Amino acid sequence: MEDIEAKGENKRLNSIVAITVVFVSVFLAMSKLKDDNIVHAIAFVKSDSIDVWNQYQAGRIKLHNDENALAALKLMRAEDPAALANEEVRLEKQMAKYKAESADLFAKARGAEARYEALNSRHEQFDVEDGVLSITLALTAVAALTEIVWLLWVGWAFAGFGVLMGLAGMFEWPIHPEVLTRLLG
């Protein structure tokens, strides 16, 4: 009789573990899709940021070259004042254009960097979720094998934290385990 009761308790524990594993696995799969999209966005934003910074630097170099050319023209004014004045006006227009472009590119590059940081923060939330839910799966499997119920409860505690991190990543909640990501990063 005790053997039948023990088998019934084992069956119930195994059923609970199986339901936990299914829930955690489905949640992991859904959040993995979202995380992959974020990783793609991170790559795009980072490459865009690099492009904008390169444009900014190129514009600053052009500006510097035009400033030097303008200074040289001012020194040569004595030869043909009209031609030199026309070139001076053209270079001043170019310099004004580069200055305006530089300010816009600087702001755009800073914005891209901020977007990258925000996306990376969300990616870290999914990384934590993935690790914690993997621990959940291990704990629940050991609980089923050893028939230790408190391991299942500990697994559920990890699952709760992992699901919270996954939802935070999906819905852009400002929950970020800074200490954990610094320790593991």
Residue-level pLDDT at 4 = 56
Top CATH class, 2-184: mainly alpha
d(CA 148, CA 94): 76
pTM of the model: 0.71
Domain edges within the chain: 2-184
- Give me the sign of the Cα torsion angle 133, 134, 138, 144: positive
Residues 6+ apart with CB under 8 A from 158: 132, 133, 135, 136, 139
Backbone angles phi, psi at 67, to 5 degrees: -60, -40
Amino acid at 68: N
Cβ count near 17 (within 10 Å)? 21
Residue in this structure with the two tokens 């059923």, named with its chain if needed: 15
Q: Which residue has tokens 């993997």? A: 134
Residue 147 Rama label (left phi>0; alpha psi -120 to 50; beta): left
H-only helix segments in the chain: 2-75, 81-146, 149-171, 178-184
What pLDDT sits at residue 75? 66
Q: According to the model, what pLDDT value does residue 108 have?
A: 87
Q: For 70-96, b where at least 16 C-beta lie within 10 A, e where not — what string? A: beebeeeeeeeeeebeeeeeebeebbe
* Grouped pLDDT means (10 residues each) for the chain, 185 residues: 61 91 93 90 88 87 83 72 80 85 88 90 92 94 92 96 95 88 76
**Amino acid in position 160:** G
In this predicted structure, what is the pLDDT of residue 173? Answer: 94
Q: Report the C-alpha gap between 66 and 72 in whole angstroms.
A: 10
- DSSP for 1-15? -HHHHHHHHHHHHHH
